Amino acid sequence: MTTIQIKRVYDDASGQADDGFRVLVDRLWPRGESKEKFHYDLWAKQIAPSSKLRQWYHADMENRWDEFKTKYTQELSCNPATTELIKTLTRYKNVTLLHSSRNLRQNNAVILAAYLASHPEFNFNNKCASLCRKARCRESGMP
């Protein structure tokens, strides 16, 4: 079983030894962070919210959180990169999702962590889950 935790990119680096596999989950590189000094194991920008969705949410973050959660979860369900990420993460006992948002409660890493946690041991081999995921994609108009 994999343990998932969430941290801000800008948090103090102490305790990184406990972070396990560190995954940057933002589409854009975090402002002010040096690519040479910042420690991460994987930059999973392909599973971050689409640019269109991110821009829509940032235009009115206070009032769009619930709808953003729904739309981003749909994107995750229909994104083949999500399946690849899950396959990668199952190899690690501890995983830390890294984000650059100032808001610790309402950001894409929180949604992604909940999405991952909803799949026991990140198992996509469940036929029912696969059928449900395909149905959500058709309903949302996603491929």
pTM for the model stands at: 0.82
DSSP result, 10-34: TS-STTGGGT-EEEE--SSPPTT--
> What pLDDT was estimated at residue 2?
81
21-24 sheet: strands from edge to edge: 3-8, 94-99, 21-24, 42-43
> pLDDT averaged over consecutive 10-residue blocks of the chain (143 residues)?
90 76 96 91 97 96 96 96 93 93 94 88 41 48 50
